């Protein structure tokens, strides 16, 4: 078995602090890398070592593979944890780590290559007989789309094959909107991913976004965890997550966990990952994609199972056997609210200095006896800059049941004060306290329905 002694964290903010927490628990030293814009953030102070790697723009810092590898060699790091975002799903980064003799705490480059492209991921799922949404292969021209339109009823989705995070995804309501939507999807995909390939997928009415957390040993062994409900989204990006789901019954839970296991066992997946599904109103489920990394919403799974997923990422990278699935039990309920520096009316980013910060009574970066957890990347006086994702923190609560988790969340949101940049706390309060959320069973139309409901009151 390998022994990792020092981990370089190729990320920033709250996820860097989260990795430091679990690494320290295991007796590992940590190295933070940071851009000039982040030098005053807490993760820089908390790591055992910290090195500035460049200018604020990600291409000159957190996305600069050669510089990160050079720093890892210089500080003699045994391993690199990529967090999420940035280089976490870049096969080139995995190969660079391998070439340098550095352990990458994550999956293989091969897994990323297959699952990083939505078209190949769909083909892989289909090959192991896991259902995928009705759709097409890659479409190169508007004329190709026009020829197959009679195979689909509207609405449809045009999706970027290399996409992620909802980028390059355009919903088309009627045929006359196709030319504009096709060009828009290709343009966004080219800008975001350097790859303008797109395909059509049937839009499912009243869909639920359900995902399964997995751990893999790289030999075909897969451990799955209970589902996460991730249907509260703006711009196809998650805002509130919970586990378990009010919509998923035990039969559906078993089916989607088995489907996730089937895909990743065949892939011989290693380390942490998430298999995402869309489930229609009749509880038919379809494979969407595999996120070959840790997810932002991993704390809700930790909240109902007690497993430290970052700790297990490190242990698997060292060669330890997977935890047994029979030991994973659902205990209570957990909810996560993502706290963004954004205008709650239009969800546009709102950078600026945090002039006041009051935190609720809570634990940080994992659970103790408290039912409130705050994973936060900033402190008072720090600036939210326009260079990175505007996520300030994640507020996670749990309870013996869903109602208690909701009450704990509403109380914690009341106690959390952030002054300076606009933030979405008012939206989160209204969303979680709404009848739509409290009654459960909501789908990805949640936010439009909530806005409509608010206008009618």
CATH number for 134-202: choose from 3.40.50.150, 3.30.420.80, 1.10.150.20, 3.30.1490.20: 3.30.1490.20
For the stretch 340-398, pLDDT in tens is: 999 998 999 999 999 999 999 999 999 998 999 999 999 999 999 999 999 999 999 99
pLDDT score of 456: 73
Active site residues per annotation: 293
Q: What is the value of pTM for the model shown?
A: 0.93
For the stretch 45-67, pLDDT in tens is: 999 999 999 999 999 999 999 99
For the stretch 167-222, pLDDT in tens is: 778 888 888 888 888 888 888 888 878 888 898 888 888 899 999 999 999 999 99
Mean pLDDT of the chain: 94
Answer whether residue 428 shows pLDDT above 80.
Answer: yes
Question: Residues 246-270: what's their mean pLDDT?
Answer: 98
Give me the CATH topology for the region 208-456.
D-amino Acid Aminotransferase; Chain A, domain 1 (3.30.470)
Parallel, antiparallel, or unpaired: how do β-strands 79-81 and 49-54 relate?
Answer: unpaired
Radius of gyration of the chain (CA): 21
Q: Do domains 6-105 and 134-202 have the same CATH topology?
A: no
Answer whether residue 425 shows pLDDT above 90.
Answer: yes
pLDDT score of 457: 64
Percent of the chain with pLDDT over 90: 79
Domain boundaries, the chain: 6-105, 134-202, 208-456
pLDDT score of 192: 78
Cα separations (Å) of 354 from 39, 46, 387, 417, 435? 15, 20, 16, 10, 32
Answer whether residue 444 shows pLDDT above 90.
Answer: yes
Domain spanning 6-105, CATH architecture: 3-Layer(aba) Sandwich (3.40)
Judged on CB neighbours under 10 Å (0-12, 13-18, 19+), 153 is exposed
Structure tokens at 42: 């807490």
Residue 315: pLDDT band by 50, 70, 90 thresholds?
A: very high
pLDDT score of 88: 97
User: How many Cα neighbours within 13 Å face the side chain of 182?
Assistant: 17
Quick check: 115 and 121 in contact, CB under 8 A? Answer: yes
């Amino acid at each position: 078995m390998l022994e990792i002694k020092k981990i370089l964290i190729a990320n920033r903010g709250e996820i860097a602090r989260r990795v430091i927490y679990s690494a320290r628990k295991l007796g590992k030293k940590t190295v933070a890398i940071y851009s000039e814009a982040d030098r005053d953030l807490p993760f820089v102070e908390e790591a055992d070592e910290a090195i500035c790697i460049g200018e604020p723009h990600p291409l000159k810092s957190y996305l600069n593979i050669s510089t990160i590898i050079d720093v890892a060699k210089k500080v003699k790091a045994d391993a690199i944890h990529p967090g999420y975002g940035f280089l976490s799903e870049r096969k080139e980064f995995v190969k660079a780590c391998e070439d340098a003799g550095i352990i990458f705490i994550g999956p293989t480059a091969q897994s990323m290559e297959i699952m990083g492209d939505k078209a190949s991921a769909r083909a892989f799922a289909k090959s192991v007989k896991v259902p995928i949404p009705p759709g097409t292969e890659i479409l190169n021209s508007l004329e190709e789309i026009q020829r197959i339109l009679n195979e689909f009823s509207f609405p449809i989705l045009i999706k970027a094959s290399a996409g992620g995070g909802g980028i390059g995804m355009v919903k088309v309501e009627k045929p006359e909107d196709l030319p504009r939507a096709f060009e828009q999807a290709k343009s966004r995909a080219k800008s975001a991913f350097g790859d303008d390939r797109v395909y059509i997928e049937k839009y499912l009415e009243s869909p639920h976004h359900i995902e399964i957390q997995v751990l893999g040993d790289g030999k075909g062994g897969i451990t799955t965890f209970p589902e996460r409900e991730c249907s509260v989204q703006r711009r196809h990006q998650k805002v509130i997550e919970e586990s378990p789901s009010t919509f998923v019954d035990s039969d559906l839970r078993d089916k989607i966990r088995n489907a996730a296991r089937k895909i990743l066992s065949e892939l011989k997946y290693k380390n942490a990952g998430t298999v995402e599904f869309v489930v229609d109103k009749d509880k038919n489920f379809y494979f969407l994609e595999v996120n070959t990394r840790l997810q932002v919403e991993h704390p809700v799974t930790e909240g109902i199972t007690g497993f430290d997923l970052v700790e297990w990422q490190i242990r698997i990278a060292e060669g330890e056997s997977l935890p047994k699935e029979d030991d994973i039990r659902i205990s209570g309920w957990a909810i996560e609210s993502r706290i963004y520096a954004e205008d709650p009316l239009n969800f546009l980013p709102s950078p600026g200095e945090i002039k006041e910060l009051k935190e609720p009574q809570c634990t940080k970066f994992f659970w103790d006896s408290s039912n409130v957890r705050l994973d936060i990347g900033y402190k008072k006086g720090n600036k939210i800059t326009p260079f990175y994702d505007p996520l300030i923190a994640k507020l996670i609560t749990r309870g013996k049941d869903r109602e208690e988790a909701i009450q704990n969340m509403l109380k914690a949101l009341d106690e959390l004060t952030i002054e300076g940049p606009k933030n979405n706390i008012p939206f989160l309060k209204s969303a979680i306290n709404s009848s739509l959320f409290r009654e459960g069973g909501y789908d990805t139309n949640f936010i439009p329905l909530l806005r409509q409901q608010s206008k009618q009151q």
